Structure 1
């Protein structure tokens, strides 16, 4: 794997701070937030300085029952080429369900959800990964995700699942040590056991991030400082192998640049203090039972079975339908609230006019809407659907606010944005 060094997640909110940080060898940017023909000036300047930029995808859903969307793959490939990236990364997760395989409405999670660690799911994932690899101009690496819920009747451990995926596809691994810590708290999974089962030579790079514990559940927020427990997992990994790259993630509640620099310093200190074990010891530590080899293609019916299971779970999480058999109902409620909260936060970012118009009532109103209204077409459509639901219910109560909300919705719900003449007419009408 290419040596990357120490990096940080590039976000528009901290673009200036990232450019000023010392010792940054590379950055990672959310692929879906980039336009290949109009890269942010900050990323252009970083590239001109020799800083590597890696696009990190969040919407492929390679762990889903459907085959990867060719358009999404083409978009990810275009971003990799525009950035001159040595690799691209995505997640071992599903993000949507329903549709043709289930003859039911397509549902969007708006978040990364865990794949069942079963042989059916592994076969489907391997086939999807091969399709993606064939469509991408550079190597692909996949990230282990954090989870609040367990699938019933799983057949493989996390380490076995990841190891078999690498063996059957040659895909790289993006190991998120914060997610390993999250799964220790939420699912009782030992990070050391997962690391011991991994093919360490497949690691492309490592994520480090913060979170917070509430009521015995660890939330991988990317909005809190990195705790010692996560650095301890990083130290364990670094004692087994020297990772080609390590990256600090921060997605919200951005601290001053000095605090980011201090967290990067803690990561460097942790790596320097860890000495990889001798190859013989590392090899013996990695010996773990392997599952039976997966077939070259998904077994007949595997996609259909996975599709039905994922659609039932996502419907329960986003539409309030009964919990599928075998799931922990309390954990499903926690996950459902987390999904709704994330939707509220992202909608507020993509449509800031809504919290401005609704004020303090925005969040409560959105969470009430999200309880039984699954997301169908992405966050911008979610914002429009939310506004329409309020208007259909005769809300907000303030007539002037309701009229302004109706104008906002009409301007954005048509087939195209209003033209210059329409904007001029609207301005004149308002002035009159």
Structure 2
């Protein structure tokens, strides 16, 4: 079946993650949020309150699926039972695309429940790209892959992270979910130029962006999603928007979650960077 490749999703505007502490507020107050992102695995269930709430949300809002369990870098390949459940959920949500992370997370049936970085080699890029292409074809939906925050590096890496990301998405013919907070976190932890990363990535592949806060420690910072967005991340976001055009943007706030109004107020700051950029639409040919 043919399906369209990416637009950069500018028409969706600014969204936030759908989180349990905000369920009641959203359902009762019906805030004017453009869209919600869900963690797919939280709703890949047969019933219960999560799906009950999701169905009510879907009556009023666009929902986009974001996953944490695809693990395209796993040596043994993809979990097709997981993909089947993911596709069933996509039929329910009518998500315009789905996303997951450029990582691995399990080996020999043992799951780390973490988003582990990959060695930046051509061999690794080819394997990951093959898995991403299979996942996109199976889902019959456009796929966007997210750059992860990282805290270790591999000695065998042959290229920078942004070169690796570019190789993967070009070979797989998938989009990018550009997380500018993750770029900042990893740049501090590993000592590279975050702005060079943003300047290098293929802008026409970026279909969505993430912004978030993090926690700073003496020797490193961790992507905790429990603080407001800091100024260096906003600067990266401004440059990314300048390059990519006004792009669907999601604020992640997953721990120490404040009131809905506080989260939504922080998310709306992204609009300040949209005033002087074009609403570029990247729409490519269809693929079989």
- TM-score normalised to the size of structure 2? 0.87
Cα distance change, pair 128–193 in 1 and its aligned pair in 2 (3 A): same
1:84 aligned residue: 94
The answer to whether the 8 Å contact 1:238/1:276 transfers is no
Asked which structure has the greater CA Rg, the reply is 1
**In the alignment, structure 1 residue 48 sits paired with structure 2 residue 59:** yes
Q: Could you say which structure has the higher helix fraction?
A: 1
User: Residue 118 of structure 2: which of 109, 115, 127 is its match?
Assistant: 115
Please report how far the alpha carbon of residue 81 of structure 1 lies from its aligned counterpart in structure 2 after TM superposition. 0.9
The answer to whether the 8 Å contact 1:133/1:139 transfers is yes
Alignment of 1:55-74 (within 5 A): 55-74=65-84
**In the alignment, structure 1 residue 206 sits paired with structure 2 residue 217:** no
Question: Separation in 2 of the partners of 1:241 and 1:218?
Answer: 27
Cα distance change, pair 40–221 in 1 and its aligned pair in 2 (3 A): same
Alignment of 1:384-423 (within 5 A): none
2:259 aligned residue: 256
Structure 1 segments of 4+ aligned residues over 6 angstroms from their partners: none
Question: Separation in 1 of the partners of 2:168 and 2:212?
Answer: 24
Please report how far the alpha carbon of residue 22 of structure 1 lies from its aligned counterpart in structure 2 after TM superposition. 4.0
2:244 aligned residue: 241
Extract unaligned runs of 5+ from structure 2. Answer: 1-6, 281-288
Deviations 1:150-186 (CA, angstroms, capped at 9, x unpaired): 1113111122112122221210110001101101110
Alignment of 1:315-354 (within 5 A): none
Deviations 1:317-342 (CA, angstroms, capped at 9, x unpaired): xxxxxxxxxxxxxxxxxxxxxxxxxx
Match of 1:40, SS state, is helix
Alignment of 1:270-285 (within 5 A): 270-272=273-275, 275=277
User: Residue 6 of structure 1: which of 14, 36, 53 is its match?
Assistant: 14
The answer to whether the 8 Å contact 1:173/1:203 transfers is yes
User: Residue 42 of structure 2: which of 26, 33, 36 is its match?
Assistant: 33
Aligned residue pair count: 269
Please report how far the alpha carbon of residue 240 of structure 1 lies from its aligned counterpart in structure 2 after TM superposition. 1.2
Bigger mean CA offset, 204-213 vs 160-169: 160-169
- TM-score normalised to the size of structure 1? 0.59
Extract unaligned runs of 5+ from structure 1. Answer: 100-105, 279-432
Deviations 1:23-66 (CA, angstroms, capped at 9, x unpaired): 411111111110465453333233212x2111211112101211
Q: Could you say which structure has the higher strand fraction?
A: 2
